[in-house]
């Protein structure tokens, strides 16, 4: 459907009016701050790392600059696929039938980008918080494993609920339950209609409720009763926004804005509750005394499981200040008699204790216990299986069970934060650990998130991988262990990391090509391929070749000098051969060349002085390709 110009103008005018009257929130507010300017600049220049940092800093990804450009429009106009992906994953809006959204689509550099934008259209995809909301909603109806700890009873219907969610979401329940934390059922007066309560609860549990569905098929009188009930409940439970949220809104955008706003508010409630209660109640105990920790089932934060992570000895000092003295309902008796019920049983060898810590005998090692709620842990399939099974962890015990997780406390906290709040901001330092832990526990989104953080930040101070390092300069201080990253990518089956590693290596191939460990990893890659199916390609090498050609060719294309490159190649036709001959010398030459490069001489990698930079690039490209072939030959690999 194509709108006429006057129709568009009319629509824009109505929209402006709606915004100024406060009915509709401005999707793209004007932002003149420096941060935003930097952010826009980064989007323009394809600086993934900077983008990621600015987003983490809290810049509004949907704002617009003084020329009415949003970061998304800039990125799609300039054709930076990864940046667009990053923006969209972080909630940048591209909605059809809005001015800015259509601009994005219209400006998309190519179809790939256009399709990406379309796939994130609000009507098809949902807000980034939707998985969290969906999970909490599902708690209302999930029969197994049982996670509810309180039952609200109306005259004809029972609701199995979760105290921590009620507390976090409704000040009324917070007060009520603080007064009587061990209450397990709650009878409501008969005057409260079950339907009204259901609507309120659905709202508390992040479900998208609308009055129309709630009162569907009811007569006018019944509807009135339900509405009155809802009104009453919203006042009692102190959730004043209930009505606003369930009233039918026909405008799709308005609906989306309301929904997003509500989700964010709810998430923030959960988040602050999580920080105030779960994180604050973490305990640091000596590792060998963990088994003595006993938490009552009725505790002030309604936790029903304890998660344990062991510190590495060198982190211990750092975290010592965080130590929190356990307060309510927790006792740490040292008596060994209790061990019988909680500890592993005789006859089953206890694996982790033995294999884990060489530092254990030092007695200094500390473990951190996080109280947690099964209801939220279910987001991980690992925990879901655990609690649904009939193993020890799923049994009812008088005291809370302690489940050890094989990761550092920081990683555990990251995972908990993600499961409770969908927040996933963590540093590069734990990224790989988070990646592994998320893989082990099947938290797919967190895994992708970790991979993203690694692949966008992992290239040190040089701003982006592909376009900014055509000459293969390296900064020795910032070198990350790319081999580890690649292996982690393989182990956890994250394609993104494999690609990232290949690109990273391609950009700095002159640095890696002679490294013996590079040969090892090529061999590993070749072996992986053999395991999969009998083909002749080595994936890593293929990828590197691809990115290498991109690295050089992109520059020529950017300069519009394709022909020049061809000419240069012809001129230097004999160079590769020479280079091959001189390969033997190459290894020795490297430091020498680097010195020369540092001196600013325009030389090829084999030391020849090239006519200009383009010729140099062309020759370098050939030399690097030659070196790869040589390497494969040495390793007896066909490619």
Partner 1 sequence: MIAGRGRQRIKPPRRGLHGGTDIDFEDTWGTIASAFREIHTKNASRLSYEELYRHAYKIVLKKKGDELYKRVSEFEHDWLRNEVRGSIQALFSPSLLANTQSLGGKTTNERRVAGEKFLKGLKQAWGDHQVCMSMLADVLMYMDRVYCQDQRVPSIYTAAMVLFRDDILNSPTSDDDGRVVLGLLNHVILNQIQMERDGEVIDKHLIKSCVYMLESLYDDEMEAEEQRLYTMSFEQAYLDTSRDFYRKEAEDQLRESDAGSYCRKARRRIYEEEERCKSTLLESTAPKIQKVVEDELIKSRIRELVDMDSGVRFMIDNDRLDELNLIFDLNARVDDKKAELTRALQKRIVDMGTDINDAAITASQAPAAAPASEAGDKGKAPVQEKSQNQQTVAAIKWVEDVLQLKDKFDTIWKVSFDEDQPLQTALTRSFADFINSTTFPRSSEYISLFIDENMKKGIKGKTETEVDLVLDKAIILLRYIQDKDLFERYYKKHLCRRLLMNKSISNDVEKHMISKMKIELGNNFTTKLESMFKDMTISEELTAGFKKHVAGLGEKDPKRIELAISVLTSMTWPLETMGSGDEEESKRQQCNFPPAIDRIKRGFEKFYNEKHSGRKLTWLAHMGSADLKATFPKVPQKDGTFKERRHDLNVPTYSMVILLLFNEVPAGTRLTFEEIQAETNIPHNDLVRNLQSLAVAPKTRILVKEPMTKDVKATDRFSFNEGFQGKTIKIKVGLVAAGNKVENDRERRETEKKNDDSRAFCIEAAVVRIMKQRKELSHQQLVIETLNQLVAQFKPEVPMIKKRIESLIEREYLERIEDTKVDSYRYLA
Q: Which position among 404, 448, 474, 596 is part of the footprint of partner 1 (CB under 8 A)?
A: 404
The residue among 266 and 458 lying less far from partner 1, judged by its C-beta, is 458
State the nearest-atom distance from the C-beta of 127 to partner 1, in Å: 22
The residue among 84 and 424 lying less far from partner 1, judged by its C-beta, is 424
**Residue 571 sits in the site that holds partner 1 (CB under 8 A):** no
State the nearest-atom distance from the C-beta of 501 to partner 1, in Å: 11
**Residue 405 sits in the site that holds partner 1 (CB under 8 A):** yes
| Interacting positions 48-107 with partner 1 (CB under 8 A) | 53, 56-57
Q: Which of 277, 274, 280 lies closest to 323, judged by CA?
A: 280
The residue among 441 and 583 lying less far from partner 1, judged by its C-beta, is 441
The residue among 268 and 484 lying less far from partner 1, judged by its C-beta, is 484
**Residue 414 sits in the site that holds partner 1 (CB under 8 A):** yes
Task: Please name the residue ranges forming H helices in 471-515.
Answer: 482-492, 495-507, 509-512
Instruction: Report the SS3 class of residue 208.
Output: coil
Dihedral of alpha carbons 284, 286, 287, 288, sign: negative
The residue among 253 and 449 lying less far from partner 1, judged by its C-beta, is 449
Structure tokens at 85: 């992906």
Structure tokens at 413: 């906290």
State the nearest-atom distance from the C-beta of 537 to partner 1, in Å: 18
The residue among 223 and 393 lying less far from partner 1, judged by its C-beta, is 393
Residue with tokens 């061999």: 523
Before 145, cis peptide (omega within 30)?
yes
State the nearest-atom distance from the C-beta of 443 to partner 1, in Å: 13
Rounded-to-integer distance, Cα 395 and Cα 375, Å: 15
Q: Which position among 385, 467, 537, 596 is part of the footprint of partner 1 (CB under 8 A)?
A: 385
Q: Which position among 231, 286, 312, 536 is part of the footprint of partner 1 (CB under 8 A)?
A: 312
Measured in whole angstroms, the distance separating CA 541 from the mean position of its chain's CA atoms is 29
| Interacting positions 445-504 with partner 1 (CB under 8 A) | 453-454, 457-458, 460-461, 478, 480-481, 484-485, 488, 491, 493
Q: Which of 131, 362, 126 lies closest to 260, judged by CA?
A: 126
State the nearest-atom distance from the C-beta of 514 to partner 1, in Å: 22
Instruction: Report the SS3 class of residue 307.
Output: strand
**Residue 517 sits in the site that holds partner 1 (CB under 8 A):** no
CB atoms within 10 A of CB 374: 21
Instruction: Report the SS3 class of residue 210.
Output: coil
Structure tokens at 417: 């934060």
Question: What's the burial of 179, exposed, middle or buried (CB within 10 Å: 0-12/13-18/19+)?
Answer: exposed
State the nearest-atom distance from the C-beta of 263 to partner 1, in Å: 22
Helix axes 34-45, 81-89, angle to 10 degrees: 140
Sequence-ordered list of residues with C-beta below 8 angstroms from that of 53, at least 6 positions apart, any chain: 457
State the nearest-atom distance from the C-beta of 612 to partner 1, in Å: 33
The residue among 350 and 609 lying less far from partner 1, judged by its C-beta, is 350
Task: Answer yes or no: are the C-beta atoms of 155 and 193 closer than 8 Å.
Answer: no
> Measured at the alpha carbon of residue 523, what is the angle toward residues 522 and 527, in degrees to the nearest 5?
115
State the nearest-atom distance from the C-beta of 380 to partner 1, in Å: 11
Query: With CB under 8 A, what is the number of residues at the site for partner 1?
Result: 61
Sequence-ordered list of residues with C-beta below 8 angstroms from that of 592, at least 6 positions apart, any chain: 607
Binding span for partner 1 by CB under 8 A among 28-36, 70-78, 428-436, 542-550: 428-436
| Interacting positions 523-552 with partner 1 (CB under 8 A) | 532
The residue among 235 and 530 lying less far from partner 1, judged by its C-beta, is 530
Q: Which position among 427, 535, 595, 612 is part of the footprint of partner 1 (CB under 8 A)?
A: 427
Q: Which residues bind partner 1 (CB under 8 A)?
A: 53, 56-57, 312, 344-345, 347-352, 355-357, 381-382, 385-386, 388-395, 403-408, 414, 425-433, 436, 440, 442, 453-454, 457-458, 460-461, 478, 480-481, 484-485, 488, 491, 493, 532
């Amino acid at each position: 459907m194509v709108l006429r110009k006057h129709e568009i103008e009319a629509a824009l005018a109505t929209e402006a009016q709606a915004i100024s009257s406060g009915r509709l929130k401005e999707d793209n507010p004007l932002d003149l701050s420096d941060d935003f300017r930097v952010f826009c600049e980064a989007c323009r220049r394809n600086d993934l790392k900077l983008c990621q940092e600015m987003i983490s800093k809290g810049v509004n990804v949907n704002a617009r600059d003084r020329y009415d450009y949003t970061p998304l429009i800039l990125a799609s106009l300039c054709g930076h696929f990864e940046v667009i992906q990053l923006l969209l994953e972080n909630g940048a809006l591209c909605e059809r039938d809005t001015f800015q959204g259509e601009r994005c689509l219209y400006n998309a550099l190519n179809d790939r980008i256009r399709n990406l934008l379309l796939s994130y259209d609000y009507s098809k995809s949902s807000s980034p918080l939707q998985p969290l909301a969906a999970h909490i909603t599902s708690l209302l109806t999930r029969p197994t494993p049982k996670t509810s700890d309180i039952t609200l009873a109306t005259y004809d219907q029972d609701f199995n609920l979760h105290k921590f969610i009620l507390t976090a979401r409704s000040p009324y329940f917070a007060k009520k339950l603080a007064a009587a934390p061990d209450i397990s059922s709650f009878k409501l007066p008969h005057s409260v209609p079950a339907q009204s309560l259901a609507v309120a609860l659905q709202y508390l549990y992040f479900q998208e409720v609308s009055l129309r569905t709630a009162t569907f098929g009811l007569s006018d009188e019944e509807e009135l009763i339900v509405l009155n009930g809802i009104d009453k409940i919203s006042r009692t439970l102190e959730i004043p926004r209930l009505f606003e949220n369930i009233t039918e809104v026909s405008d799709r955008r308005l609906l989306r804005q309301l929904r997003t706003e509500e989700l964010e508010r709810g998430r923030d409630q959960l988040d602050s509750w999580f920080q105030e209660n779960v994180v604050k109640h973490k305990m640091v105990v000596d590792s060998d005394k963990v088994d003595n920790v006993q938490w009552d089932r009725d505790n002030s934060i309604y936790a029903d499981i304890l998660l344990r992570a062991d510190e590495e000895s060198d982190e211990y000092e750092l975290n010592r200040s965080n130590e929190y003295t356990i307060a309510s309902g927790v006792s740490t008796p040292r008596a060994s008699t209790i061990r019988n019920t909680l500890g592993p049983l005789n006859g089953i060898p206890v694996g982790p204790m033995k294999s884990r810590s060489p530092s254990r005998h030092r007695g200094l090692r500390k473990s951190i216990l996080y109280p947690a709620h099964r209801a939220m842990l279910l987001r991980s399939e690992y925990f879901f299986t655990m609690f649904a099974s009939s193993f020890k962890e799923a049994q009812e015990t008088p005291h809370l069970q302690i489940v050890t997780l094989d990761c550092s406390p920081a990683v555990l906290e990251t995972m908990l934060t993600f499961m409770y709040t969908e927040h996933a901001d963590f540093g590069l330092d734990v990224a790989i650990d988070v990646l592994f832990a998320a893989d082990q526990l099947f938290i797919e989104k967190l895994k992708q998130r970790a991979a993203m953080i690694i692949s966008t930040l992992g290239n040190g101070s040089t701003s982006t991988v592909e376009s900014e390092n055509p000459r293969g300069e390296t900064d020795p201080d910032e070198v990350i262990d790319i081999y580890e990253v690649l292996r982690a990518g393989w182990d956890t089956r994250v394609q993104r990391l494999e690609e990232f590693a290949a690109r990273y290596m391609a950009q700095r191939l002159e640095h890696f090509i002679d490294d013996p460990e590079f040969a090892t990893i090529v061999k590993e890659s070749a072996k992986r391929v053999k395991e999969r199916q009998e083909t002749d390609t080595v994936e890593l090498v293929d990828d590197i070749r691809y990115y290498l050609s991109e690295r050089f060719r992109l520059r020529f294309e950017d300069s519009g000098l394709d022909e020049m490159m061809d000419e240069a190649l012809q001129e230097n036709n004999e160079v590769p051969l020479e280079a091959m001959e001189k390969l033997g010398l190459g290894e020795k030459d490297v430091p020498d060349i680097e010195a020369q490069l540092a001196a600013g001489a325009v030389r090829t990698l084999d030391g020849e002085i090239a006519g200009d930079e383009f010729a140099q690039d062309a020759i370098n490209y050939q030399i690097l390709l030659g070196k790869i072939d040589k390497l494969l030959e040495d390793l007896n690999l066909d490619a």
